Amino acid sequence: MVVRLDLNVSLDGVAMPADPSPEHPMGEDWGRLVVAYAATRTFRERVLHDASDEGPTGVDDRYAAAYFEAPIVLGRGCRLGDDLPRLEEGRTVTTEIAESGVIHVTIAG
């Protein structure tokens, strides 16, 4: 079984914006972290049910499509490293820069 851990983190290390509320459970700035993902054709088709075939289909879209291929372990507003020390040990770490400027990090193995 494959389990994916997909976590959106800004370059300054923010994984969940501050001040979640009932109106904005992931924080008011969450949209800034996921803007490239939400623009992809896959997100538009699978989440918004938009059949217009609009949206980028490059690297970001490939990662967005992978979100639907396996269960996802979601973060809960904590720092990833606190719960998973030495996550990269014995695994292969690769990075890929998407057209949007998003850096995708994959830890496999």
Structure confidence by residue, pLDDT tens digits, 36-91: 889 999 999 998 999 999 999 999 999 888 877 765 554 444 444 555 566 677 87
Q: Which domain holds residue 102?
A: 4-17+27-108
Q: Give pLDDT, residue 42.
A: 93
Q: Determine the average pLDDT of the residues in 99-109.
A: 79
Q: Is residue 100 part of a domain?
A: yes
Determine if the pTM surpasses 0.85: no
Q: Give pLDDT, residue 53.
A: 94
Q: What is the tally of structural domains in the chain?
A: 1
Q: Is residue 22 part of a domain?
A: no
Q: How far apart are the first and last CA of the chain?
A: 13
Residues 6+ apart with CB under 8 A from 95: 103, 104, 105, 106
Cα separation values, 13 from 20, 80, 91, 92, 97, Å: 17, 10, 22, 21, 17
- 2-29 tens-digit pLDDT: 555 666 666 666 676 778 888 887 788 7
Q: Is residue 37 part of a domain?
A: yes
